Amino acid sequence: MDLNYIVYRNLKKNIKNYYLYVFALIFSVALYFSFVTLQFDPSMDEVAGSVKGGAAIGTSSILLVAIVAIFLLYANTIFIKRRSKEIGLFQLIGLTKGKIFRLLSAENLMLYFGSMVAGIAAGFAMSRLILMILFKILEIDAMAELRFSSEALVRTIIVFAAIYVLIMLMNYTFIKGQSILSLFKVNVTTQTQIRKMPLWEIVLGILGIAFVGGGYYISTQLFSGKYTEMSELMRAMITILALVIIGTYLFYKGSVSFLFNAIRKSKQGYLSINEVLSLSSIMFRMKSNALLLTIITTVSALAIGLLSLSYISYYSAEATAKESSPDDFGFARVEAKEKFVQALDAQNIKYKEIHMKPIMMEVDASGIMDNSAFKSPDDRLLLTAVLSEKDFSGMDLQPDETTIVGYGGALQQFMSLSETGEVIFDTLNGKVSLQVQGNSSEAVLPYYYGGGGAIFVVDESRYQGFVQAQNPKVQRGEGKREYYGIELADRSQRAEANEIFLELKPEQPSFSQYEVELEQRSNMGLIMFIVGFLGLTFLITSGCILYFKQMDEGEEEKDGYTILRKLGFTQGDLLRGVQFKQLFNFGIPLIIGLCHSYFAVKSGWFFFGTEMLTPMILVMLLYTVLYSIFGFLSVLYYKRVIKASL
Amino acid sequence: MVILQANKIYKTYGNKFNKQEVLKGIDLQVDKGEFVGIMGASGSGKTTLLNVLSSIDRVSQGTIEIEGKEFTGMKEKQLAEFRKHHLGFIFQEYNLLDTLTVKENVLLPLSITGISKKEAHQRFAQVAGELGIAELQNKYPAEISGGQKQRTSAARAFVHEPSIIFADEPTGALDSKSASDLLNKLSDMNRGRQATIVMVTHDPVAASYCSRVVFIRDGQIYTQLNKGDEPRQSFFNDIIKTQGVLGGVQSWT
């Protein structure tokens, strides 16, 4: 039996044991390779209008390398520890450390580069699929072609070879630093100290929950108008981040064991098998993984949050476009509108014209801002656009009445306005007090005119009076006094009309709702695509790490299963207990991650779109499903351990 | 009353080309309230005997009955059910679950039987009082001494009042003081509760606490000693003598 034979045998054994590692490796390589292929693909730069597609993907590929490298290095520390006994044995039979290192290197070389070749092949196949997904998201009608990029190949090989060298370096220092005796004992030392819970841990536990809760609370207040200055806002955001991250760490370090301990105490020592396997084991083990779990939770919350936001943005592109340009097309200058209208007539596209003349006025809105966080009189004096009721079909206001339109989106979150109350309009002829009758979130003027503020609508006669007595000091420039909107009769002709619009290149300011929507789709689509794939990589790698941790834990708890089976618990009993335990082991980080991202998204989603729940829930569901797969895999692993335990 | 009845049990390991007979037709009968010791040198098959008697391992041939129930043919699930109700275990390595407190460890066998909480606490109070571990109930195994661990393990074996208790070298890892302490407790429990105990040991001192000692050699019963009304000291001397013959110098010529 020579060295090569040992290498061969080890390899065979390890592939069976570490199929998930091999899978994760192949997957990482495949993903990286297809990413880099995309980056070098000439079709990418045509893809995303203002954002350079290739550049965006290039930057994120660096992030991808970081995730993959950390994962592979981390996985390696787990595996080298598992094999420490074997290494000790080799040393015992007289192999030198150098020789053992060569043995491991050779074995890893085959495993690693074997998976790499497989990964590149898979990545090559996958890159077309990915490109197809990207085109689909961006609504680009192009054939995704399969191009093999040698640049991508070279880069992939360099990156993963560098990671391989790092891993070998790590193994080398591990082998060098260990004595035979300590190698046999590695598993023993990793076991957690089990003793009674000290007081400081209870304090930490309570603090953890308090911190997370506090962070969540501030996040709900973030854009309620409480923090009006930029520096205050920044401080609040940093506080939230710090509270939530530290809170999460303390939660894993203390709160979980604190809560579980409380449940256990209430049982007064009479535990069911489910509780024996889950509560007592998680109580002690989650603590030692606190840092790892915190990182996983935080990054997955980040991934879910970003993905939700970009999906919200993508999902509500149409509504957002409507907010920023309420009519299909809008013009500030009559000549531009005329040119466009003529072109539409020539193409036989039917339309409706809208003409509005917003006047700017100062309005004292103290009467309807009682519930708002803006307290100082200056903040309550709004400079806003005023329109006449005749621009709205079916609206009939009394001369002393006014109503608010365009009160939606972020504005609604920032500034709460009562539905009724008194507002005072400032004119050259003195102050005019009107009664507010309700408000509507419907946008009527492009963002360009109202600046996203609320718009007051008044009775026609009142409007004429305001026009007469308008204060020239607060009026806007020439381009903002008139608004011409074009509403198509048949909205299915939007694309056609947009072509005309683009061809004419009307002078600014002019707006096309359809164009805004497309732009938003393609920008957000690309971001969503990148965040999605980074998130996926992170999900798979962190899922693998949790799974590997569970493999270790399973081995450590094998003795316990032996005892329990001797006492008369069946395999079924134990398996149920383990399932219960995994519900917590995977469920707790998942739920905390989801909670974090929920509060993150909730605090600021209205800047990104108009619909929060549907896109967010879809993203969360997808994440949960993918994540659960690792939970199931770990239960299958435990099943084998339990079966072999007696 | 007969609690355990083993008839002609054989246990072989390996395949048909490389067979190793560990037990070669052992007959054993244990009555209620007996404290039986099984002695033998390393490799004599005493642990294998204990394993098959306690249903953890299967016999190759022969039958074993506990309280009139034959279990050698039972399925895995039925066996677990059987162990749950009829058997208690004490092991050399204590086999306590590290993550559970003393009380939780002791009450473990009760949680499968579905006994009421109140009754469980009563049982614990009683058995813990008898074994002197009541004050330790909220401590973790890592916080108590070896002797205390073994008494915890014993309490776990007694708490559900099984038909028979199997002890595998219970004193093997203890110092002599803790060992005699434990053995005294065990024989008290044996007398007080009329509990039936089968203990494997290679320590003559431990064996001297038993009411009967069975000697095994090469997978067969070599001889048995009954304590009767003898004092422990003289029973110990008998055991030493028998052990000397059993494991002593053989005539090779």
Q: Give chain A's length.
A: 646
Cβ-contact B30, B3 below 8 angstroms: yes
Averaging pLDDT over each range in A368-382, A408-422, A597-611, which range is the top one? A597-611
CA dist., res. A77 & res. A80, Å (int) = 5
Query: What percent of chain A has pLDDT above 70?
Result: 84
Q: B18 to chain A nearest CA, in Å?
A: 23
Counted across chains A and B, CB pairs separated by less than 8 A come out at 96
Q: What percent of chain A is modeled with pLDDT above 90?
A: 6
Which chain A positions have a beta carbon within 8 Å of B108's beta carbon? 271, 276, 564, 567
Give the pLDDT of residue A1. 56
Give pLDDT, residue A360: 75
Q: What are A578's two structure tokens?
A: 């383990």
| Mean pLDDT along residues A223-252 | 82
| Range in A145-154, A626-635, B186-195 the model is least confident about | A145-154
Query: What is the DSSP annotation of A444-508?
Result: -S-HHHHTT--EEEE-HHHHHHHHHT--GGG---GGGS-EEEEEESSGGGHHHHHHHHHHH-PPS
| pLDDT(B107) > 60 | yes
pLDDT in tens, B67-105: 888 888 888 888 888 888 888 988 888 888 888 889 888
Range picked from A101-110, A456-465, B236-245 for highest mean pLDDT: B236-245
- CA within 13 Å, CB half, A642: 20
User: pLDDT higher for B103 or A485?
Assistant: B103
Nearest CA in chain A to B118: A270
**What average pLDDT score do residues A314-328 get?**
77
Q: Is A608 helix (H, G, I), strand (E, B) or coil?
A: coil
CB atoms inside a 10 Å sphere around CB A20 = 19
Residue A343 is encoded by which pair of tokens?
């072109």
In eight-state DSSP terms, residue A366 is G
Which residues in B lie closer than 8 A to residue A266 (C-beta atoms)?
Answer: none
**What pLDDT does residue A142 have?**
65
| A432: phi then psi, degrees, rounded to nearest 5 | -120, 125
* CB distance B199 to B36 below 8 Å: yes
Which pLDDT score is estimated for A313?
82
Q: Which helix (H) or strand (E) holds A295?
A: helix A290-315
What is the residue-wise DSSP string for A557-579?
HHHHHHHHHHTT--HHHHHHHHH
Backbone angles phi, psi at A444, to 5 degrees: -120, -30
**Which residues, at least 6 apart from A170, have a Cβ–Cβ distance to it below 8 Å?**
A73, A76, A77, A80
Q: Which run of H or E residues covers position A422?
A: strand A420-427
pLDDT of residue A614: 86
* Angle of the B146-159 helix axis to the B117-131 helix axis, nearest 10: 140
Tokens 């009042």 label which residue?
Answer: B161
Of the candidates A103, A618, A572, the residue with the CA atom closest to the CA atom of residue A311:
A618
**A202, A204, A193, A256: which is closest to A585 by C-alpha?**
A256
- Taking the C-alpha atoms of residue B224 and residue B34, their distance in angstroms, rounded to an integer, is 14
Contact A269 B141 (CB under 8 A): no
Cα angle value A230/A233/A239 (rounded, 5°):
145
* Alpha carbon distance A194, A553 (integer Å): 15
For residue A424, what pLDDT is reported? 75
Interchain proximity B56–A646, CB inside 8 Å: yes
| Rounded Cα distance, B224 and A334, in Å | 118
For residues B174 and B92, give the distance between their C-alpha atoms in angstroms, rounded to a whole number. 9
Residue A371 has pLDDT above 70, yes or no: no
Q: How far apart are CA A16 and CA A27, in angstroms?
A: 17
A387-400: per-residue pLDDT in tens?
777 777 667 777 77
Phi-psi domain of B68 (left: phi exceeds 0; alpha: psi -120 through 50; beta: other) = left
pLDDT in tens, A509-532: 777 777 778 777 777 788 888 888
Nearest CA in chain A to B78: A570
Instruction: Determine the 3-state secondary structure of A57 from DSSP.
Output: helix
CB contact under 8 A, B77 and A268: no
Is residue A569 less than 8 Å (CB to CB) from chain B? yes
Spatial separation of the C-alpha atoms in residues A373 and A574, rounded to whole Å: 56
Angle between helices A97-138 and A3-17 (to 10 degrees): 40
pLDDT of residue A578: 92
Closest chain A residue to B81 measured between Cα atoms?
A568
User: Do B84 and A567 count as a contact with CB atoms less than 8 A apart?
Assistant: yes
Average pLDDT, chain B: 87
Could you give the 3-state DSSP secondary structure of residue A419? coil
* pLDDT the model gives residue A478: 62
Q: Evaluate if residue B203 carries a pLDDT over 70.
A: yes
Distance from CA of A602 to the nearest CA of B (A): 40
Scan residues 166-195 of A and list those with Cβ closer than 8 Å to B: 193-195
Which pLDDT value is given to residue A625?
92
**Does the pLDDT at position A48 exceed 60?**
no
- Interchain pair B80, A568: CB under 8 A: yes
The predicted pLDDT at position A606 comes to 77
Question: Are B124 and A269 an interchain contact pair (Cβ–Cβ within 8 Å)?
Answer: yes
Compute the average pLDDT of residues A58-83: 82
How far is B243 from chain A, CA to nearest CA, in Å? 31
Does residue B97 contact residue B108 with C-beta atoms inside 8 Å?
yes
Provide, as residue numbers in chain B, all residues whose Cβ is less than 8 Å from the Cβ of A572.
Answer: 77
C-beta atoms of A269 and B103 within 8 A: yes
| Distance from C-alpha of B183 to C-alpha of A241, rounded to nearest angstrom | 60
User: B29: pLDDT confidence band, cut at 50, 70 and 90?
Assistant: very high
Task: Report pLDDT for A82.
Answer: 75
Q: What share of chain B is helix, strand, coil (3-state, %, to 5)?
A: 40, 25, 35
| DSSP string across B171-220 | TTTS-HHHHHHHHHHHHHHHHHS---EEEE-S-HHHHTTSSEEEEEETTE
Q: Is B80 in contact with A569 (Cβ distance < 8 A)?
A: yes
Close Cβ partners of B176 (under 8 Å, ≥ 6 residues apart): B205
Cβ distance B97 to A273 less than 8 Å, yes or no, reads no
DSSP string, B89-121: EE-TT----TTS-HHHHHHHHHHHHT--HHHHH
Contacts of A48 (CB under 8 A, 6+ apart): A56, A138, A522, A523, A526
Give the orientation angle of helix B176-192 with respect to helix B117-131, to 10 degrees.
Answer: 130
pLDDT at A411: 67
Q: Which amino acid is at A594?
A: L
Listing DSSP states for A388-402 in one string gives: EGGGSTT----TTEE
Phi, psi of A376 (to 5 degrees): -75, 145
Name the nearest CA neighbour of A611 among A408, A358, A418, A363.
Answer: A408
How many Å apart are CA B251 and CA B187, to the nearest integer?
A: 38
The arithmetic mean of pLDDT across residues A331-338, rounded, is 72
Which carries the bigger pLDDT value, residue A606 or residue B23? B23
pLDDT for A479 beyond 50: yes
Distance CA B114, CA B77 (A): 17
The pLDDT score that the predictor gives to residue A474 is: 66
| pLDDT for res B58 | 87
Residues paired with A433 in a beta bridge: A424
CA distance B251 to chain A (A): 38
Residue B183 · residue B7 · CB < 8 Å: no
Interchain proximity B108–A646, CB inside 8 Å: no
Contacts of B172 (CB under 8 A, 6+ apart): B92, B201, B203
Peptide bond into A509 cis (omega under 30): yes
Distance CA A33, CA A24 (A): 14
Q: Is the pLDDT of residue B198 over 90?
A: yes
Q: How far apart are CA A260 and CA A263, in angstroms?
A: 5
- A window 225-264, beta carbon within 8 A of B: 264
pLDDT at B54 over 90: no
**DSSP strand pairing (B20-31 vs B2-13):** antiparallel
- What contacts A129, CB < 8 A, 6 or more positions away? none
Give the integer Cα–Cα distance in Å for B22 and B49.
9
Give the CB-side neighbour count of residue A426, counting CA atoms within 13 A: 15
Residue A555, pLDDT > 80, answer yes
pLDDT digits (tens, 9 = 90+) for B58-69: 888 899 988 888
CA dist B150 to B124, B175, B183, Å?
16, 12, 11
ipTM, 2 dp:
0.86
* Chain B residue with minimum CA distance to A645: B56
Q: B112 to chain A: which residues are within 8 Å by CB? A: 273, 567-569, 573
d(CA A293, CA A287): 9
Residue A494: how many other CB atoms lie within 10 Å: 19
> Alpha helix (H) ranges present in A50-96?
53-82, 84-92
Burial of B124 (0-12, 13-18, 19+ CB in 10 A): buried
Helices (H), B114-168: 117-131, 146-159
